[in-house]
Structure 1
Amino acid sequence: MEENRKVCVTGAGGFVASWLVKLLLSKGFIVHGTVRDPDNPKNAHLRKLEHAENLRLFKADVLDYESLSAAIAGCEGVFHVASPVVLEACHDPQVELIQPTVDGTINVLKACSEGVRRVVLVSSCATAVANPAWPFDKIMDENCYSDKVFCEEREYWYFISKILSEERAVEYCKSNGLDLVVVCPSLVVGPLLQQTVNQTSEHLIEFLKGRRKLPMTLHVQHLVDARDVSDALLLVYESPEARGRYICNSFSIATWEFCDKLRKLYPNFSYPKLNDKEKPYHILGSEKLMQLGWKQMPFEKSIRDTVEDFLSKGFLTHN
């Protein structure tokens, strides 16, 4: 790889984005990372990464086009990772979720109009899995899209925000000649590079404490490790043949079975009682991504690394 290629990662201090920044720096990239406040201690972990001398943090907001434009200027590629995650009920979904997700994505794409060769959009499997008409004997793949009406009726506002964002991004890039690849990760697990708990990790921590919060209340878990997601993002960026949309999921597992596997590894935690063993569930497939060469780590390694990290940081204690 040619040295000193320059790329931008939005929301660089987040869970997945931090792992992506770490990976990009290890591969010799110069990275422009957007964060709300470069001096905030919650972003300090980024400055401690190996090769952090090649990382420049920009104060930027996805709703502020000028700040985004400054961060993206001179970059050959952009990874748009920044996005609000609100999985519980929200007071004003339009303001809290939909507007920043959709408008923020379009602002990023507009800032990419000069010189950016490829944009990788981190979407979500939320844009695929909420499709009640999809047969259970058919793997959910890139041809499966969530039903917007179904999501609206159930007030799945996070799903709606990601669906609209992905749709608008595809439309914009098609109309403006931008090369866009979309990656849709499932629920992301794995150790944290930052010192604060992100929302998806918080749900797993609560589960290990015997409490179920969304998405752990669902009868199926679609899971992928943050390190595997970062590998997938770089893979689709680097692969000339990468096109369209990619599901990024390692494991589809019934929640009761997931709980049993956790209990075997860590018998001393409090686990919720689960009674949905007979309920059918869809498998979420990543065959298209694997055809590019994507590999995922074993389930046990991912879960062990995750739980051990929670314990080491004091987010979780043994009973």
Structure 2
Amino acid sequence: MILSPVVLTGATGYLGSHILTQLLEKEYEVRITTRSLAKTQKEELILKLQEKYPNKLSIYEADLLEEGSYDDVMKGAKSLIHTASPFKIEGIKNPKKELVDPAVIGTRNVLNAASKGDIERVIQTSSIVAVYGDAIDVEMIEGDAFSEKNWNATSSISHQPYNYSKTVAEKEALALSLTSTWSLVSINPGFILGPSLTKRTDSTSIDFMLNLLNGKMAMGMPELYFGVVDVRDVAKAHIMALENTALKGRFICSNKSMTMLEMSNILRQEFGKAYKIGSKVLPKFLFYLLGPIMAGLSWSYVKKNIGIPLKFDNTRSKEELGMEYRPVEETILDHAHQLINDGILKK
């Protein structure tokens, strides 16, 4: 099956830029979409890639919430990687408008356009939070690790709205695939870290890494667990799923479960006292008292997540996709050095 041209949404984002770069390195013809053609045409990474890969990268203007705006980019394309969706967990004022509508309506508009064109293969970026809502959900499943058979059944528009948005968006894609000619794979990454290809800072992952290094956690941190995965590995997983057309369904893409303290310890070994890196965990009761004020953590979130270990079964990604995950130490340190080298993090 000839999979090129590939339509890629969210191509200038943290993950999307890695997918774009890897696709071009493999000599795919790629069409990317943006809400602002004028702005994207001037972005440093896009200009570099267009120069390095002449006639391989084209840009189309489209809006997730505008029905029909993706019709043109799909014409003549053979495959689609849909990554565009907001990743926002703090400062949310209107969850439906900021998260759910762009995720669900956007998915519907993009995939309906794919069905009108010649698309044969769709890879959707979902999330591990479409598998579970809170860490305490582990009490409801068989075994001690979440797998692809689990679905988030506890998040809502009022509790964990980002998690809810990813769950309903993945289900929307699955429903549309049942009546379409294209085949679907959903990639469910854990918490994505690793070096960014741009100097943008509007990413929850980048903000998280900055907080580990800039002193925000110097007095202590919550005992929270994350299924860490490298952004470069997640990008690779999308392309492997694109090319192995026999595969369908969901793939958890997570390397290793770690606490914030374990990640901080890796950073401290590398940087010593150069940065104010936290070295202790604060007791859970303090977050009941101060969490809503200092960190925006609701009592419900504290109760259902802090101090509860998380495990994820990544067997399918390794055995069927063929994923080999790079060491988490490499992921964390490469990310930190990128922030320093790009001048985003200052001593």
Q: Does 1:140 align with 2:140?
A: no
Q: Does 1:271 align with 2:277?
A: yes
Name stretches of at least 5 consecutive residues in structure 2 with no aligned partner. Answer: 285-305
Distance 1:170 1:153, change over 3 A: closer
What is the alpha-carbon distance in structure 1 between the residues aligned to residue 159 and residue 307 of structure 2? Answer: 23
Distance 1:241 1:218, change over 3 A: farther
Distance apart, 1:276 and its partner CA: 5.7
8 A contact 2:79–2:122 mirrored in 1: yes
Distance apart, 1:52 and its partner CA: 4.9
Name stretches of at least 5 consecutive residues in structure 1 with no aligned partner. Answer: none
Distance apart, 1:305 and its partner CA: 1.2
What is the alpha-carbon distance in structure 2 between the residues aligned to residue 192 and residue 186 of structure 1? Answer: 17
Distance apart, 1:92 and its partner CA: 0.8
Match of 2:118 among 104, 115, 118: 115
| Equivalent residue number for residue 200 of structure 2 | 196
8 A contact 2:222–2:282 mirrored in 1: no
8 A contact 1:46–1:52 mirrored in 2: no
Residues 254-263 or 36-45, more deviating: 36-45
RMSD over equivalenced CA pairs, Å: 2.2
For each residue in 1:81-105, what CA deviation from the matched residue of structure 2 results, as whole angstroms up to 9, or x when unmatched? 0001111141111111111110000
8 A contact 1:25–1:52 mirrored in 2: no
What is the alpha-carbon distance in structure 2 between the residues aligned to residue 85 and residue 99 of structure 1? Answer: 13
For each residue in 1:220-265, what CA deviation from the matched residue of structure 2 results, as whole angstroms up to 9, or x when unmatched? 0221111101100000111122110011111211222222222112
AA aligned to 1:294 is M
Match of 1:222 among 205, 223, 227: 227
Distance 1:152 1:67, change over 3 A: closer
What does 1:1-319 align with in structure 2 at a 5 Å threshold? 5-40=4-39, 43-49=43-49, 50-113=52-115, 114-130=117-133, 132-135=136-139, 138-147=144-153, 150-152=154-156, 155-197=159-201, 198-211=203-216, 219-268=224-273, 269-272=275-278, 273-275=280-282, 279-291=307-319, 292-318=321-347
AA aligned to 2:192 is V
Q: Percent identity?
A: 27
Distance 1:88 1:52, change over 3 A: farther
Distance apart, 1:21 and its partner CA: 0.6
Residues 108-117 or 278-287, more deviating: 278-287
Structure number with larger C-alpha Rg: 2
8 A contact 1:219–1:276 mirrored in 2: no
What is the alpha-carbon distance in structure 2 between the residues aligned to residue 96 and residue 172 of structure 1? Answer: 23
What is the alpha-carbon distance in structure 2 between the residues aligned to residue 217 and residue 196 of structure 1? Answer: 27
Classify the secondary structure of the residue corresponding to 2:309: coil
Distance 1:25 1:144, change over 3 A: same
User: Normalization by structure 2: what TM-score?
Assistant: 0.84
